[in-house]
Amino acid sequence: MQALQFDRQLTISAAGNRKATQWPAQTLYWSEMVERLRTAVRGTETLAEYLKLPKAQQDDLKDVGGFVAGTLAGNLRKASNVTSRDIITLDLDNIPAGGTADVIRRVEALGCAYATYSTRKHHEGAPRLRVLAPLSRTATADEYEPLARKLASIIGISLADPTTFQAVRLMYWPSCCADSQYVYHFADKPFLDTAGLLATYQDWRDITEWPEVPGANQAHVKLAAKQGNPLEKRGVVGAFCRQYDIYQAIETFLPGIYETTAMDDRLTYLGGSTVGGAIVYENGLFLYSHHATDPCSGKLVNAFDLIRLHKFGDLDDEAKPDTPANKLPSFVQMATFALNDAGVAALINQERYEKAVEDFGSFTNADGQAEPQAPATENDLNWIRKLAISPTTGQPAKTIDNVLIVLENDPGLRNKIAFDEFANRGLVLGPLPWDNRNEKRSWLPSDDSGIYHYMEKAYGIGSEGKINHALTIVAHKHRFNDVKQYLEGLTWDGVPRLDTLLHDYLGALDNVYTRAVSRKSFTAAVARAMDPGVKYDNMPILVGAQGIGKSTFLRLMGKNWFSDSLQTFEGKEASELIQGTWINEVGELNGLSRSETNAVKQFLSRTEDIFREAYGKRALPYPRRCVFFGTTNDSEFLKDRTGNRRFWPVKVGLLPATKSVFNGLEHEVDQLYAEAFVRWQLGEPLYLTGEADEIAKEQQEEHRESNVKEGIIKEFISRRVPMNWDQKDISDRRLYWSGEFEKVEGETMERDRICAAEIWVECFHTDIKYMKKVDTRELNDILSSFPGWESYRGRFGPYGHQRGFKKTM
């Protein structure tokens, strides 16, 4: 290393790359600095290749580490953290073609120590040089920019980058391309006289005296165009700037930080030494500060960013260099701060509301007429102000609470969404922004799409999950039960009608059974409406000819909640079909197979239906709120020989009706349900007992499908057999039944047991090897239907151990 005549210890702050967050100070002699700059890091790409690369790649290649030629508080490279400078550093990026030698001569003519070196892009067609001039004494941050500008003006300020004068300016260590010529010169001369250079000003603190790069006074125009008009920005930034310009923001939030000067567009940052260095542009839209220690130094800021940098700029010290502006800690904190300003929050929400009106046009009033919406009124703003605003987007936060506020207050939505508790479905009670139908109707999948679009467009809330949760809360808050309200609104006049209902209107016999069925079935309907899921597993069946009004009777009794759509009794479809129904007609039972009849019985026995609705997340229980009535023209419709207790057959049309289903029933329905409601309140049992139950069994048997084999089997098992019957083999038994023996030796007895195999072989004279399971099942079913016989497992003579039946009486 060459010894220099003029040398002193200097301080720089260096780091390995431009994105480093820590720039620790290091001391070195000027001679060491000169030596370090002597050799450039040489890349592998040619200059032509380098110049063709995107700027981002060029920046990465030339970033071989760098330095700020001074000290930084906290090792942070921020304008407000520069505490001193030992070297003036200038970027001369505007040198004319072929002007390298001329610039070096100008620098040499300064008569002070210097070093110059070329940049990565340098070539004779477009020279680019860096000039370093060590100072005789350390300069303060405020002194640095007037020093740098004065030095540049002596060399030729038009050659300089307009931003090179910032005290926080980073200089890269030298690098060049593989085929580039690295230009380097230095001079061992006295250091630049700090005080002497400042003395060339009348007052170096007066920024109006500072030399400027030609055209630099219009640099803010380019920066402003890049940033965009802050008044047109969306969200919290735009709202803040519409509420406060630069002057108002300083007066409101930064009192004592700046002071005015004789020039209206210039302010002085009171935390520094220079004056008039903060320039206000475009009537208060922007401020650019030349004050080295101003948090806004070297930046064109709007009112929002002005306050952000002053109040919260320190929060970004640990932020990664590539952090998006709206993710910086200072931005998040400033947004929260701004949104706590009543004026800003009100403006954001007012503009959001008015934009919603504009986007969705007019709303429809209660009469179904379109009404253009006026700007937000104070009442509107009262609820709009309740919306929480996201500090990062400036739009209403995507929260369930915000959606609830909108659903309960937005004039296009409030009082329009409810839940029909009886039908287990969402309801729309009037016109909506996306559907102007002025009617009560079911909430449809298209309404899901409509509310998602509306919330996103009008309020910037696009979270379907949060919207769905809020819809559920609001709908259930406004839930109602039409049937329950209907029943609770009735008053019985005390005249009994319910017991004789089927007799009066359908001509059924007037007996204890018919009266009980009439009373209990409609009391059960009330019970199911008032206490969903109450146990009631019976179905009255109206049996009679066509045209007497069976279906009309049920339709009138079902009012708005009647259905005859139930065609299946299995799976999710059946459960969905009965939602929202009260009286269900099950028609033409004679068409049901035996397995279908069993499915009906199982269906009737349920007190709740468990299924997952379309688009639902999970299967849920839905307690039964309805009852079922069967209708048929066929007298034999019960397939099962046993287990028909759930069906209550009532023959109608046996007697002339004393009242008309078609002309009179509609006027008595309310009183019939009023009476049934009272019966329910008094605890009417929903099952048959005593004589009514006995008649029910007779009716069930009368309407059961008959089988020709029943009579044959019944006669067969009634025959007496010899006392030693169990010891006889099949051949002997066949001989006995064939009548070969004219007289039986010894005493006879009534059978006390019987099995299907015995019936198959001895009664129907068929070989046992041809007996199938279906035959066994049929014969057992017939035997099980006979009174006085019960299931039994044991030995049945020559047929061995079998499942059969034993006589009980």
Q: How many residues does the chain have?
A: 809
CA 102, distance to chain mean position in Å, is 68
Strand 620-623 and strand 608-611: the pairing is antiparallel
Q: What is the pLDDT of residue 616?
A: 56
pLDDT at 392: 65
d(C-alpha 793, C-alpha 417), whole Å: 63
∠ at Cα 153 (152, 159), nearest 5°?
65
With cut-offs at 50, 70 and 90, classify the pLDDT of residue 126.
Answer: very high
Q: Residue 395: pLDDT band by 50, 70, 90 thresholds?
A: confident
CB contact set of 671 (below 8 Å; sequence gap of 6+) = 490, 492, 493, 495, 497
| pTM of the full structure | 0.57
Residue 376 has pLDDT above 60, yes or no: no
Q: How confident is the model at residue 185 (pLDDT cuts 50, 70, 90)?
A: very high
Cα angle value 39/40/43 (rounded, 5°):
145
Whether residue 725 contacts residue 750, with contact meaning beta carbons closer than 8 Å, is answered with no
User: Using an 8 Å Cβ cutoff, are 730 and 761 in contact?
Assistant: yes
Q: How confident is the model at residue 366 (pLDDT cuts 50, 70, 90)?
A: very low
Summarize pLDDT for 775-807 with one digit per residue, the tens: 898 888 888 888 889 999 999 999 999 999 999
Res. 308: pLDDT tops 60: yes
State the pLDDT confidence band at 359, using cuts at 50, 70 and 90: low
pLDDT at 110: 95
Categorize the per-residue pLDDT at 365 as very low, low, confident or very high, splitting at 50, 70 and 90.
very low
How far apart are alpha carbons 513 and 492 in whole angstroms?
A: 24
DSSP string, 145-203: HHHHHHHHHHH-GGGS-TTTT-TT--EEPPEE-TTPPPPEEEE--PPB-HHHHHTTSS-
Q: Is 44 exposed, middle or buried (0-12, 13-18, 19+ CB in 10 A)?
A: exposed
Helices (H) and strands (E) in the chain, counts: 28, 34
Q: How far apart are CA 614 and CA 14, in angstroms?
A: 64
- The predicted pLDDT at position 642 comes to 59
Kindly report which listed range (126-135, 485-494, 604-613, 700-709) carries the lowest average pLDDT score: 700-709
- Alpha carbon separation from 690 to 516, 532, 696 (Å, rounded): 11, 27, 10
- Tell me the average pLDDT across 688-707: 86
Mean per-residue pLDDT, 459-488: 92
Task: Report whether pLDDT(375) > 60.
Answer: no
Are residues 385 and 448 in contact, defined by beta-carbon separation less than 8 angstroms?
A: no
Cα angle for residues 158, 160, 162 (degrees, 5° grid): 95
Q: For 379-389, how does the pLDDT look when each residue is reduced to its tens digit (9 = 90+)? A: 666 787 788 87
d(Cα 261, Cα 277) in Å, to the nearest integer?
Answer: 10
The residue-averaged pLDDT of 507-517 equals 96
3-class SS string, 454-508: HHHHHHCCCCHHHHHHHHHHHHHHCEECHHHHHHHCCCCCCCCCCCCHHHHHHCC
Q: Which residue has the higher pLDDT, 740 or 801?
A: 801
- Which domains are present in the chain? 9-213 (no CATH), 218-339 (no CATH), 342-480 (no CATH), 501-702 (3.40.50), 708-807 (no CATH)
pLDDT at 613 over 60: yes
Contacting residues for 171 by C-beta, under 8 A, at least 6 apart: 66, 67, 68, 69, 89, 91, 130, 132
Residue 804's beta-bridge partner residues?
A: 755, 792
> What pLDDT score does 364 carry?
47
Instruction: Give the per-residue pLDDT at 785.
Output: 80
Least confident of 155-159, 188-192, 318-322, 541-545: 318-322
pLDDT given for residue 592 in this prediction: 64
CA distance 769 to 174: 107
Q: What is the pLDDT averaged over residues 462-491?
A: 93
Q: Do residues 296 and 287 make contact, with C-beta atoms less than 8 angstroms apart?
A: yes
Identify the weakest region by mean pLDDT among 58-67, 148-157, 586-595.
Answer: 586-595
- Sheet containing strand 789-795, edge to edge, reads 753-755, 801-807, 789-795
Q: What is the mean pLDDT of residues 521-531?
A: 97
pLDDT exceeds 50 at position 368: no
Closest by CA position to 224, among listed 118, 337, 305 = 305
Residue 504: pLDDT over 90: yes
pLDDT above 80 for 594: no
Q: Is 299 helix (H, G, I), strand (E, B) or coil?
A: coil
Residue 27 in this model has a pLDDT that exceeds 60: yes
555 within 8 A of 505, measured Cβ to Cβ:
no
Is the pLDDT reported for residue 629 higher than 50?
Answer: yes
Confirm if 20 and 4 have CB atoms less than 8 A apart: no
Rounded to whole angstroms, the Cα distance separating 241 from 232 reads: 9
Q: Which of 140, 139, 132, 126 is nearest to 180 (CA)?
A: 126
Instruction: Flag the least confident range among 26-30, 432-436, 523-527.
Output: 432-436
Residue type, 557: M
Q: Mean pLDDT over all residues of the chain?
A: 89
What single letter denotes the amino acid at residue 253? Answer: F
pLDDT for res 133: 97
pLDDT band at 744 (very low <50, low <70, confident <90, very high): low
Mean pLDDT is lowest, of 255-269, 394-408, 489-503, 588-602, for 588-602
Across 79-93, 336-350, 599-613, 695-709, which has the greatest mean pLDDT?
A: 79-93
**Residue 484 scores a pLDDT above 50:** yes
pLDDT attached to residue 273: 82
Rounded to an integer, the average pLDDT of 703-721 is: 82
Question: Residue 379: its pLDDT value, please?
Answer: 62
